[in-house]
Structure 1
Amino acid sequence: MKVMIVVTHLLGSGHLARALILARAFQHAGHRATVVSGGMPVPVLDRGDVPLAQLPPLRSDGVNFAQLLDDSGALVEQKTLNARKALLLHRFDEIRPDVLITELYPFGRRVLRDEFTAVLMAADKLADRPLICASVRDILAPPSSPQKADKTHSVLARYYDAVLVHADPQVMPLDASWPVPDGLRSKLHYTGFMAPADTTPPHQTAGEGEIIVSAGGGDVGAQIFDTALRAAQSDARVWRVLIGGAQADQRIAQLRANAPANVIVEATRPDFRALLHRAAASVSMCGYNTAIDVLQAGCRSVFIPFDAGAEVEQTIRATALAKLPGIEVLRSADLTPDSLLSALRVLEHSPDRAPATDGFDGARETVRHVASLREQSP
């Protein structure tokens, strides 16, 4: 099969990370997969040998997902949006996929509906129509009104053959965050959680007994980074603060200038998952990928869910995970050096949690679901 995955990450890089994991799983199964990305480039992500076609990149203006910025930080112009749509259609014509997968859309990224609709229409009118699937994480941003949910369901009914839900319905069913009418329920295919294939930590000493702090880059994680530096002044352990994002170098320089001697400030590392296996604890937000990393490492963790604006996804996930031993949750409004140190002290006395091993084969299960659906399609 030829598979085309269309994704635009606007704030964090989780959507692109999942698209790449999925593409590698298709390739491992002998299929050809191409990722078409419309977000900012993220060099730290492992793309392996997955072909990645880059559209003119966009990002959101902080948590204002209705306002898009180009790679210079200026408000995006219509000519850029037109160029994105034209290039997306060109890639579609070039690949002529047997399977078209849209990451998050139409449950999100509705600000980019014009380009998504264009490629859906192009796929739908082909005589040899590709299988069309939506790919979503465990928790979605709940619709702000019944009308928005209805519009999403109309798009799904018109174009989509399946919705691939990368979760376990016994742990986090989609209707915990999104209304699921009967017409949508019949299209849901739960794949299990989707994690990178290699979870074995290499032999290394980095991370041993450390507090690993990660929260992306830029303004999104600023509160967590600044609080961690102040908390580390009263803690003898080594704290390793990992910075990502487009302006990582600038942020790293700023934090290093104010960091106590027991704090390492550096760029996001490709061996992040391995660090967690050796860490005393992790301090992070609670995005889908980070939560899976923590669970698979069995690492004690303080989650500070991203809750700016109307964001509730990470709070829902963190609240569910807090039922497990070795996980504490702090609301961003309650985050102070003292509250962070208090949460870490609680973790010191919490029972060990074994690394989770079951239910994380979502990428391979997705390939199996898609292959079966493609065989069944007329």
Structure 2
Amino acid sequence: MNSQRLENARILMYSHDTFGLGHLSRCRAIANALVETYRGLSVMIISGATIAGAFDYRVRVDFVKVPSVIKLHNGEYQSMAAHTSLTDTLAMRRAIIRHTAESFRPDIFITDKEPMGLHGEVEETLAYLKARGTRLVLGLREIMDSPELLASEWAGKEMMEKIEAYYDAIWVYGPEGFNDPLAGLDVPETVRARMHYTGFLRRSRPRSEAIQPRPAEGYLLVTTGGGGDGAALVEAVLAAHEHSRATPDEAAVPRTLVVLGPYLPPRERADFIARARTLPNVEIIEFDNRMEDLVAGARCVVAMGGYNTFCEILSFDKPALIVPRTTPRLEQALRAERGQEFGLVRMMPAEDITDTPRFAGALRALCDAPPPSQTVDVRMRAVLEMNGLETVSADVGAWIFSAARPAPPPRPAQSEPAPEIRLGS
């Protein structure tokens, strides 16, 4: 990728990270692409992810860790520190976010997904940065939630009015025509005019060598993202292998690599690892900070359908079966439905994977299925262009170069002709 020079330009990104790794993964992909495109640019990511430091970042990308908050299955939040109340945790987060903005002095501030942040923790910082002339950008997934649930979540918060008041631009991280993330909401025309569909964010294999050994390529990859709500899928996969072993007259389920995710509860983690030891065709790892490598090495993928996994599946052109969660959001289910409609992935409802013989058959068939590039509906071939990172980089460059260009000198005032003076005789 060709690099252009941006002297001392700074971008601050906010990623609230209360459930899984999706927000940080998206911010990290954008940050790495930006510093690779523009030499001299620095990016700072504010993240609440407990394992934010476990990932590789490009030179000139760094992060500030705020105290972690976790989202429960019922949609409520609690502090990760048992001795600290949610109120105190949010107060600390708010102070760190504001102080970081004051110290870093960004040219651009990018908020991921939550317009005002967790419980409104970013609004004070947005007002401060707006006053000092920072460009404010809201980045939205191509699917936020069902319109009814999103409208209910934003009700009473004046969210649309605040988006209109604060944000200069809105990126939608998907192609136009795949999904409108604000469909069904009363969106002012001024907000619509600021929305820019970027395309999906393409992923690529890291350039450096992996530190940990990699399994031989050609496996069925099972990933649940962060893993906090992935136990049912892993359970179904192991049950399918146990069923396959007990019915030798059927074809075996393909060799499988399961990535549990860092947030899988300890009890389930220990149980799954113990069961996998008895299954010669299954390998389990707990976490890998280079999922791109694992997706690239797979024959096919079984996943829950979060945004980043969906982008990885399309980036590496892998046949995939999506088993989405439906609580507390419908985001994954809606993405899987759209993906299946356009011939990009297959979908199976979570309640169907408890039918073990049926699920085992689906796993056997998956790795022989054609990849998305061969099955995509002609209406959505643009989906596979996945030019989101290039679009984001182009926008950033245009904004910063425009801001750095000196204003033209004021034109000299046109002097009025001197009044005619007549001398009397």
* Greater CA drift, 205-214 or 16-25: 205-214
Which of the residues 270, 280, 283 maps onto 1:261?
280
Give the aligned partner of residue 174 of structure 1.
Answer: 181
Instruction: Quote how far apart the aligned CAs of 1:73 are.
Output: 5.0
Give the aligned partner of residue 372 of structure 1.
Answer: 398
Give the aligned partner of residue 127 of structure 2.
Answer: 121
Instruction: Quote how far apart the aligned CAs of 1:313 are.
Output: 1.0
Which of the residues 68, 85, 88 maps onto 2:77?
68
Once the two structures are superposed, residues 141-190 of structure 1 have per-residue CA deviations (whole angstroms, 9 ceiling, x without a partner) of 23234962982210111111010111110333334575544121111122
Is 2:167 the counterpart of 1:160? yes
Give the aligned partner of residue 144 of structure 2.
Answer: 140
Distance 1:80 1:348 in 2: 45
Once the two structures are superposed, residues 278-311 of structure 1 have per-residue CA deviations (whole angstroms, 9 ceiling, x without a partner) of 42321111011101111122212110012123x1
Q: Is the 8 A contact 1:11 1:63 kept in 2?
A: no
Instruction: Quote how far apart the aligned CAs of 1:250 are.
Output: 5.7
User: Unaligned regions of 5+ residues in structure 2, if any?
Assistant: 1-8, 245-251, 375-380, 408-425
Q: Is the 8 A contact 1:238 1:262 kept in 2?
A: yes
Distance 1:205 1:53 in 2: 30
Instruction: Quote how far apart the aligned CAs of 1:95 are.
Output: 0.6
Distance 1:91 1:240 in 2: 40
Instruction: Quote how far apart the aligned CAs of 1:361 are.
Output: 2.9
Is 2:135 the counterpart of 1:131? yes
CA, structure 1 residues 281+3, in 2 after alignment: closer, same or farther (shift >3 Å)?
same
* Greater CA drift, 267-276 or 133-142: 267-276
Is 2:204 the counterpart of 1:193? no
Instruction: Quote how far apart the aligned CAs of 1:215 are.
Output: 0.6
One-letter amino acid matched to 1:257: A
Distance 2:96 2:264 in 1: 27
Give the aligned partner of residue 4 of structure 2.
Answer: none
Q: Is the 8 A contact 1:19 1:35 kept in 2?
A: yes
Is 2:304 the counterpart of 1:304? no
Is 2:96 the counterpart of 1:87? yes
CA, structure 1 residues 215+24, in 2 after alignment: closer, same or farther (shift >3 Å)?
same
Once the two structures are superposed, residues 205-238 of structure 1 have per-residue CA deviations (whole angstroms, 9 ceiling, x without a partner) of 7253322111135540010011110001213532
- SS of the residue corresponding to residue 200 of structure 2 reads coil
Distance 2:161 2:400 in 1: 22
Give aligned pairs, total: 370
Once the two structures are superposed, residues 307-350 of structure 1 have per-residue CA deviations (whole angstroms, 9 ceiling, x without a partner) of 123x1111111112114557321111222222322323443553
Give the aligned partner of residue 47 of structure 2.
Answer: 37
Q: Is the 8 A contact 2:30 2:389 kept in 1?
A: yes
When the two chains are superposed, the root-mean-square deviation of aligned CA atoms in Å is 3.0
User: Unaligned regions of 5+ residues in structure 1, if any?
Assistant: none
Q: Is the 8 A contact 2:11 2:110 kept in 1?
A: yes
Once the two structures are superposed, residues 89-123 of structure 1 have per-residue CA deviations (whole angstroms, 9 ceiling, x without a partner) of 111110111111111122x74x420x211101111
Q: Is the 8 A contact 2:174 2:199 kept in 1?
A: yes
Distance 1:251 1:46 in 2: 28
- SS of the residue corresponding to residue 289 of structure 1 reads helix
Give the aligned partner of residue 294 of structure 1.
Answer: 313
Is 2:221 the counterpart of 1:212? yes
Distance 2:107 2:361 in 1: 53
- SS of the residue corresponding to residue 234 of structure 2 reads helix
CA, structure 1 residues 205+12, in 2 after alignment: closer, same or farther (shift >3 Å)?
closer
Q: Is the 8 A contact 1:189 1:369 kept in 2?
A: no
One-letter amino acid matched to 2:26: R
Give the aligned partner of residue 190 of structure 2.
Answer: 183
CA, structure 1 residues 350+236, in 2 after alignment: closer, same or farther (shift >3 Å)?
closer
Give the aligned partner of residue 20 of structure 2.
Answer: 12
Q: Is the 8 A contact 2:255 2:281 kept in 1?
A: yes
TM-score (normalizing by structure 2): 0.78
The alignment-based identity, stated in percent, is 23
- SS of the residue corresponding to residue 217 of structure 2 reads coil
Which of the residues 95, 99, 110 maps onto 2:108?
99
Instruction: Quote how far apart the aligned CAs of 1:255 are.
Output: 0.8
CA, structure 1 residues 280+112, in 2 after alignment: closer, same or farther (shift >3 Å)?
same
TM-score (normalizing by structure 1): 0.87
Which of the residues 310, 325, 335 maps onto 2:353?
335
